[in-house]
Amino acid sequence: MTRPPFLDPAVATDRIKPRYALLINPFYPKDPHASFGKHVLTPTLALTSLAATTPAHWELRYWDENLLDGRPPFVPMPEVVGITVHLTFAKRAFELAHWYRSRGSKVVLGGLHVLSCPEECEPHADALAVGDGVPLWPRILADVESASLRAKYVATYESDYRQDPPPKRSILPRKSFLTTTGVIATRGCHNRCGFCYLATEGLRMPYRMREPRQIVEEFLADGQPYAVFVDNNLGSNRGYLRSLCEALRPLEKIWSAAVSIDVTDDPSLVRCMALSGCTGVFVGFESLTDQNLADARKKTPKAADYARRVRLLHDRGIQVNGSFVLGFDHDRRDVFSATAQWIEENHLECATFHILTPYPATPLFRQMEAEGRLLHRDWALYDTAHAVFRPKHMSPEELERGYAWMYQRLFSHASIWRRRPADWRAVPAYLAGSYLYKRSNRFWRLLIKHHLVQATWRPLIELTRLRHLRFRQELVRGDSQHRQRSNVVTAGV
């Protein structure tokens, strides 16, 4: 889980097979403090979205090095290799690119690191796909066919998202993921946090929405009981989220998504989410200090109101995975214990921690660079698990130790038990999920290696789905009884 497959330089070059494209998600080292399981929740949609636009006369193969099946295939040698690049695994992406290019393949690099650092990526590729790869990929393959491949292809994210084809999930190894129904219903976010990759210079991603019926069709076509929305913020447009929930409700399936905590401004919307099958939300609380939130330019309610809003989600049967960023300028050494205590007091079923990381070409990076606080530009360590800048009120080493302590505390037996749901019927599934997700790193390598991820998770998912169906019925009955009581009171008046 920490070292990539070996690329043997002595491997002889096989013949290039025309009209054969290989799509690769490069290996990246796993954070030993966090859960290894999160890396196989859903597959990358970047590559399956490209696959959907590949012409029918091209043979296509998908390869994710993180599934531990060894090095990517090379017999026969693909004519085109498409590699997605993130700054934390840019070095590995460049190694793969060199290996295939030296054997005659044309290598196309795309992804956020290509957008933010094109000059760094250019020497490693035959072509760069800068921006939205969906409209670019067919053009690139057509130019390969006509021997007129260009060095750079550029697209924006301002096209009509509804016109994009659904991701091609048939190329995925289904047994290797918790669910292959990773879905993007919307693009963009109403927040523009200075540390977020959406604030990358040159990245303009207006809020775009697909039709709810398109999402329903994708969900049904994949045949899975559980979907994960990988949108940046599914709740940015509340009217759209309500319409989507109404479309999902008849399916009797379950889903989770990332939303901002202000989705709880409208309790009726949260109820609508629950009735449509939402069992969990990923919420970027980021910090419990309002000054940090203001500095990050995050539009959010006051931190003092977070607890009430979490209760509102819990009361509607929705579990909360809270995301917290450590190392803001107003954080001091007590931020670790204070945050852990708040998480336990409010019974967050899961928590994810990140060391504040200035991604290249973001406002935070420019600020840190101007202040001389960056420690280095080793992108492999820009993974939110290492301190790559000098914090204001602690040392980088103290920040890293505090980050590690947070995971040790929240992954402990005592903390898992303290954070159990108030509804006893939800406790067995919560405990099973917590121990599988949080305390099973020693087993995750075996589960991934032997393609047992979906088989292991599936019974727990079905148990959660059935319990949530019963909860929805209770929620509807409770609302009906409340209306009846209100009518009686009104009639008496």
From its phi and psi, is residue 111 left (phi > 0), alpha (psi between -120 and 50) or beta? left
Work out the burial of residue 73: count CB atoms within 10 Å of its CB; fewer than 13 is exposed, 13-18 middle, 19 or more buried.
middle
Supply the pTM of this predicted model.
Answer: 0.92
Q: What is the pLDDT of residue 142?
A: 98
| Same-domain pairing of 36 and 119 | yes
Q: What is the pLDDT of residue 490?
A: 47
Q: Establish if 1 belongs to a structural domain.
A: no
Q: What is the pLDDT of residue 489?
A: 45
Please state the domain count of the chain: 2
Q: What is the pLDDT of residue 258?
A: 95
| Same-domain pairing of 234 and 192 | yes
Q: What is the pLDDT of residue 488?
A: 46
**Regions in the chain scoring below 70 on pLDDT:** 189-203, 479-493
Q: d(Cα 355, Cα 217) in Å, to the nearest integer?
A: 38
- Domain with residue 360: its CATH number is 3.80.30.20
Instruction: Print the domain residue range for 111.
Output: 16-155
Q: Establish if 423 belongs to a structural domain.
A: yes
| Same-domain pairing of 262 and 376 | yes
